[in-house]
Chains A and B, each alone.
Chain A
Amino acid sequence: MEWEFTLSYLSYSKTRSRERASGRILGVRTLRYASLLLLSLVAATSSVALSSSASAAETPTKLYGILTDKDGAALSGIRISVAGPAGFTAEVKTGADGAWEVPIATKGTFAVTINEDDLPEGQALTDPTKVTIKANVFMLGVDLRMLFPIGPGVEQASLLVRSAQLTVDGIILGLIIGLAALGLNLIFGTTGLTNFAHGEILTFAGLLTYYLSAIVNLPVLLAAPLAVVLSAFIAGYLQDKYLWKPLRRRGTGLIAMLVVSIGFAIFLRYFFLFIFGGDTRQLPQYAGQAGLELGPVNITPKSILTTIFGIIFIILATLWLLRTRMGKASRAVADNPALASASGIDVQKVILAVWVLGAALAGYAGVIVTINQGVSFLMGQDMLLLIFAAVTLGGLGTANGALVGSLIIGLFVQLSTLFIPTELKYVGALIVLILILVVRPQGILGRKERIG
């Protein structure tokens, strides 16, 4: 059915972006080893291809391979055993060039096992579960090359080094979530709206950045702030003025508004898909920037820069909340709208200001993701649950709670990959959310009267 096709198509692109994301989280470090490995394999393949074509005529069939370490140096004296049908067994050692071969005379499935103990110190199979690999011989006369990819192994990077990298990744993710969560929480605090369309602001700003830099050809340094300003105006000012303010005036209930925001989110998501398509695109500028080695941590300059601006942005927003008249008024409205209104505060104006600020913050979160990871129409949706988790964790309606919650979620998502498979890292974060709600339902910094 078309219905299923559409949904599974969406999830397909979602998977791809998830996989991309997990690759990045593992870090450039692993990537570099992987590419070294690949190079050594390519070298091995080309040399073997020549020798096999020459010898194919003499022997009926053989299993063969060349063992090299991560730098392409040959590994000699490694025992390789082959077990096959009808009790066939053979054991050989790799030669000085790392090559080995076992002639076979029957069809069937052969198990090829490498003796791991023979590998020199610091060298291991990149996939420790592949000590034994299977060779299916369907046709005699066709040689089969067996691969044992060898590298420093995942275990080589110490737990400490990996934790350091993941901590930095976690702080950056926490910052992105925090920027979006702060706005969501301010809007929730002043209007009571649980806005399911908040993630779409991230996508909107991301798409704007992409169009401004790829189509209009503005430099990213100009496109990014412009996208933030435009999202503050369109997704903040205009959205509140022409959608939510009239609804508040009609006296639409909070749950009804929540459902309206779901409808709006669905509309926007498919609108973005309609105009942008389903793939993830990188900005033309700074796409493949090389990372800097800072101690054990590998980080790209663009990531550092966007993070610093993010922190500045959050500090400014907090100062606005604490020091300015408008900020104080917004906290008064969050506390008690009726009383605030009676004391002469223009509640609608405050709400409008909160929307503009919230949309700018969320827009910048979208810009960070776009610059560092590329933009897709699902970007906001992917972040929305984490944003909600952070807000709930910190305490609905409390500004600093949202930041604390975001940092915890960001760090937890990344650091949990030390112990659980990367693909399940969001699951871990969501489970923590539920567990914390059992112990402390008002959230970490929330006030008790909000929950019942």
Chain B
Amino acid sequence: MDFLFIIQQTLGATIGVNTIIFALAAIGLNMHFGYTGLLNFGQAGFLAIGAYSVAVPVISFGLPLWVAFLIGVGNSILFALLLGVPTLRLRADYLAIVTIAAAEIVRQIARSATFNEWLGGSDGITGKFGKDFFDLNPFKEGLETPILRFNANDLWVVITGWALVAIIIFVMWLMVNSPWGRLMRAIREDEDAVRSLGKNVYLYKMQSLIIGGVIGSIGGFVYALSRQSVQPDNYGTALTFFAYTVLILGGAARVFSPIVGAMIFWFLIVFIEQVLRQAVTNNLIPDWLIGVNQVGQIRFMLMGIGLMLLMIFRPQGIFGDKKELALDAKA
């Protein structure tokens, strides 16, 4: 077993690009679910819209990257409005079903041959649409230490990504500790009580949906830029479910929990994966039990069980406060 390699891979993943993407997706969900009680199962749709909004304007229409960012924010606001108008008056589980359907609509349209010309069909878009961003990279060489490695481009993505996360977290912290934030939590606890105080609950829920959605689409920006490609099938329902796992792992309705959750999530995923892989290749686990190609499946199975156990035995997550959110709000 090559322990150094395992440590290197695991550490890299714990603070790497995927952690940033999932942290951003979960911060958005934290706004929706943690603070406002909205059951948004379409977060993958917001990420997809962010990712495509970065790639399509630059590749298909030759616009500069910063315009693409603005388009991305605009599109995710539009998507939030489309989702919110029909469903925010309805009960939580209706929102869940409609949002999951909407995210699937986005993915299937993106991968369809009908819009192949602009969206690239099921192969997605690969190209140098992030050139403007990587031109700004001050690092000529990557990071080379025995336990942590990034190449120059990844280092630039990781550093700017974490800076972005820090800014968004700070803004979130200001928001949820303002009177506005208290109102949001009040809506989560008892909508009717808030209504009786003369507040327009519908409007506030919409604000929450838009803000969380835009944060999710920023996660989509990072996803697209870090790979310089967009693949429609990376934005399936699984992405949303794993973002929820991240959020619940850290503890919903805590500002920092998505970051901690994402770090633990990717730490566990990569650690288990690497250990299993090494064990299989070194014949510590017999071939008939687990093949090399089945390691990924074992990992997802463990993830599913983990989510169940977490929800059953510690629904408030690692840092959550049971009083703040016990997750048994009336559906």
Q: Contact check: which of B231, B297, B300 meets A8 at CB < 8 Å?
A: B231
The reply to whether A266 and B112 form a contact with Cβ atoms under 8 Å apart is: no
Chain B interface mostly: helix
CB-defined contacts of B87 to chain A, threshold 8 Å:
434, 437
Would you call A389 an interface residue if the criterion is a C-beta within 8 Å of the partner chain's C-beta atoms? yes
CA A257 – CA B328 in complex, angstroms? 9
Provided the pairs A7-B233, A10-B233 are in contact, do residues A424 and B112 lie with their beta carbons within 8 angstroms?
yes
The segment out of B156-164, B174-182, B236-244 that lies at the interface is B236-244
CA A437 – CA B300 in complex, angstroms? 34
CB under 8 Å from chain A, chain B span 97-132: 97-98, 100-102, 104-105, 108-109, 112-114, 122
Q: Contact check: which of A7, A260, A271, A450 meets B308 at CB < 8 Å?
A: A260
Q: Contact check: which of A4, A255, A437 meets B234 at CB < 8 Å?
A: A4
The reply to whether A262 and B244 form a contact with Cβ atoms under 8 Å apart is: yes
CB-defined contacts of B142 to chain A, threshold 8 Å:
none
CA A8 – CA B107 in complex, angstroms? 13
CA A402 – CA B124 in complex, angstroms? 36
Q: Contact check: which of B93, B102, B329 meets A430 at CB < 8 Å?
A: B102
CB-defined contacts of B244 to chain A, threshold 8 Å:
259, 262
Would you call B311 an interface residue if the criterion is a C-beta within 8 Å of the partner chain's C-beta atoms? yes
CB under 8 Å from chain B, chain A span 398-452: 421, 423-424, 426-427, 430-431, 433-435, 437-438, 441, 450-452
Would you call B294 an interface residue if the criterion is a C-beta within 8 Å of the partner chain's C-beta atoms? yes
CA A388 – CA B102 in complex, angstroms? 13
Provided the pairs A266-B304, A430-B102 are in contact, do residues A260 and B92 lie with their beta carbons within 8 angstroms?
no
The reply to whether B311 and A451 form a contact with Cβ atoms under 8 Å apart is: no
The reply to whether A11 and B236 form a contact with Cβ atoms under 8 Å apart is: yes
Would you call A256 an interface residue if the criterion is a C-beta within 8 Å of the partner chain's C-beta atoms? yes
Provided the pairs A2-B296, A392-B94 are in contact, do residues A259 and B238 lie with their beta carbons within 8 angstroms?
no
CA A8 – CA B306 in complex, angstroms? 23
CA A6 – CA B294 in complex, angstroms? 10
Q: Contact check: which of A3, A7, A194, A421 meets B236 at CB < 8 Å?
A: A7
Would you call A309 an interface residue if the criterion is a C-beta within 8 Å of the partner chain's C-beta atoms? no
Give the interface size class of chain A. 35 or more
Would you call B147 an interface residue if the criterion is a C-beta within 8 Å of the partner chain's C-beta atoms? no
| Interface mask (B61-105 → A, CB under 8 Å = 1, otherwise 0) | 000000000000000000000000111011111101110111011
CB-defined contacts of B100 to chain A, threshold 8 Å:
385, 388
Q: Contact check: which of B297, B303, B304, B330 meets A254 at CB < 8 Å?
A: B330
Chain A interface mostly: helix
CA A334 – CA B329 in complex, angstroms? 19
CA A435 – CA B94 in complex, angstroms? 13
Would you call B14 an interface residue if the criterion is a C-beta within 8 Å of the partner chain's C-beta atoms? no
Provided the pairs A2-B296, A388-B97, A389-B101 are in contact, do residues A268 and B109 lie with their beta carbons within 8 angstroms?
no
| Interface mask (B284-320 → A, CB under 8 Å = 1, otherwise 0) | 0000000000101110110111111011100100000
Would you call A270 an interface residue if the criterion is a C-beta within 8 Å of the partner chain's C-beta atoms? yes
CB-defined contacts of A441 to chain B, threshold 8 Å:
86, 89-90, 94
Would you call A288 an interface residue if the criterion is a C-beta within 8 Å of the partner chain's C-beta atoms? no
CA A10 – CA B231 in complex, angstroms? 13
Provided the pairs A8-B234, A262-B244 are in contact, do residues A385 and B308 lie with their beta carbons within 8 angstroms?
no
The reply to whether B329 and A255 form a contact with Cβ atoms under 8 Å apart is: yes
The reply to whether B108 and A253 form a contact with Cβ atoms under 8 Å apart is: no
Give the interface centre of A194, A247, A259 by most chain B CB atoms within 10 Å.
A259
Would you call B326 an interface residue if the criterion is a C-beta within 8 Å of the partner chain's C-beta atoms? yes
Provided the pairs A2-B273, A8-B233, A385-B104 are in contact, do residues A266 and B298 lie with their beta carbons within 8 angstroms?
no
CB-defined contacts of B94 to chain A, threshold 8 Å:
392, 396, 437, 441, 451
CB under 8 Å from chain A, chain B span 139-185: none
Closest CB of chain B to A338's CB: distance in Å? 14
Q: Contact check: which of B234, B294, B303, B304 meets A7 at CB < 8 Å?
A: B234
Q: Contact check: which of B18, B109, B304, B312 meets A270 at CB < 8 Å?
A: B304
CB-defined contacts of A11 to chain B, threshold 8 Å:
122, 232-233, 236
Closest CB of chain A to B19's CB: distance in Å? 12
CB-defined contacts of B104 to chain A, threshold 8 Å:
385, 426-427, 430
CB under 8 Å from chain A, chain B span 31-66: 39
CA A5 – CA B299 in complex, angstroms? 14
Closest CB of chain B to A452's CB: distance in Å? 7
| Interface mask (A238-258 → B, CB under 8 Å = 1, otherwise 0) | 000000000100111111111
CA A442 – CA B109 in complex, angstroms? 28
The reply to whether A274 and B311 form a contact with Cβ atoms under 8 Å apart is: no
Give the interface centre of B98, B122, B273, B308 by most chain A CB atoms within 10 Å.
B308
Q: Contact check: which of B92, B114, B327 meets A424 at CB < 8 Å?
A: B114
The reply to whether B122 and A15 form a contact with Cβ atoms under 8 Å apart is: yes
CA A420 – CA B227 in complex, angstroms? 33
Would you call A264 an interface residue if the criterion is a C-beta within 8 Å of the partner chain's C-beta atoms? yes
Would you call A265 an interface residue if the criterion is a C-beta within 8 Å of the partner chain's C-beta atoms? yes
Would you call A273 an interface residue if the criterion is a C-beta within 8 Å of the partner chain's C-beta atoms? yes
The reply to whether B18 and A3 form a contact with Cβ atoms under 8 Å apart is: yes
Would you call B197 an interface residue if the criterion is a C-beta within 8 Å of the partner chain's C-beta atoms? no
The reply to whether A427 and B108 form a contact with Cβ atoms under 8 Å apart is: yes
The reply to whether A437 and B86 form a contact with Cβ atoms under 8 Å apart is: yes
Q: 7 smallest A-B Cβ distances: which pairs?
A: A253-B328, A267-B304, A263-B307, A11-B233, A266-B304, A263-B308, A254-B331
Identify 15 residue pairs between A and B in the complex whose beta-carbon atoms are under 8 Å apart, listed by A's number.
Answer: A4-B231, A15-B122, A252-B315, A254-B331, A259-B244, A263-B245, A263-B303, A263-B307, A264-B304, A266-B238, A388-B101, A430-B101, A434-B102, A435-B86, A452-B90
Given contacts A264-B304, A451-B91, 8 further A-B contacts (CB under 8 A): A3-B18, A254-B330, A262-B241, A264-B308, A270-B300, A421-B113, A435-B86, A437-B86
